[in-house]
Structure 1
Amino acid sequence: MIVLDTSAVVALAAGHRALVRLADNAAASPFKHLAVPALCLLAAEAAAQGSGTFALALPAIEIEPLDSMAAITVATMVRDGIGAQDTSHALYAALPTGSRGTMHMILTNQEHRYPPGTITVHIDDPRLLG
């Protein structure tokens, strides 16, 4: 799974070529899914009206909910200075879990917002057009 943060959702809704292609390819594949953390969806809609609605309309997009455990962990990350609420939720969604031993990558145009060791790919990375 690939996690789209707030900046990626805003860019996707604005028609970013590589992200639109990625979303189209993911929709055609039974194996690729694009995850948008709920707090990134909220922040994208607040930053650019219609961005959240656009993301929700795409069949490849899955919303990562802010359930009770996620809420407590994200709040702890924010309190500890890891990042803003949306950044922390994107990081939380990408972290390994008991059922998934590897970290997901985060698509972003703000890689500097994530702590060292986070797997981020810039939305303008030429490999996305491959």
Structure 2
Amino acid sequence: MAPGLDETTVFQPRFGSDGLIPAIVTDARDGTVLMFAYMNAEALKRTQETGLAHFWSRSRGALWKKGETSGETLKVSEILTDCDQDVLQLKAEPQGRGAACHTGRRSCFYRRADGERLSFIDDRRLFNPKSVY
């Protein structure tokens, strides 16, 4: 019996019907979840070729290099996939000032859900988004 996706050594990312695959970005140094985005085949290819994270923007309908405007690029050290190859994890080192979020924070995950309310767990901005975007 041939090995399934969960045992193969062939990278066969399973893009959804929309041509996208979810990508979780974590800090290669300490494992902090920095952001979540989608990649299409071109974004994945450019990430692998350049070592810098590229994604597909669903809102803009366009490929984008993370940090192209802000200078907050993500240098990818590893690309991992889950057992059935339909989710990616990018281990990356934030460049620039170290902000992965467009709000200027280190991580896009800076609030905790407390029932129906949100509490800020990180309100420190590494840059002012009004002066960048």
| Common fold by TM > 0.5 | no
Higher relative contact order, chain-length normalized (CA < 8 Å, sep 6+): 1
TM-score when normalising by structure 2: 0.28
- Whichever of the two has the greater Rg, that structure is 2
TM-score when normalising by structure 1: 0.29
Q: Relative to total residues, which structure has the larger helix share, 1 or 2?
A: 1
Q: Relative to total residues, which structure has the larger strand share, 1 or 2?
A: 2
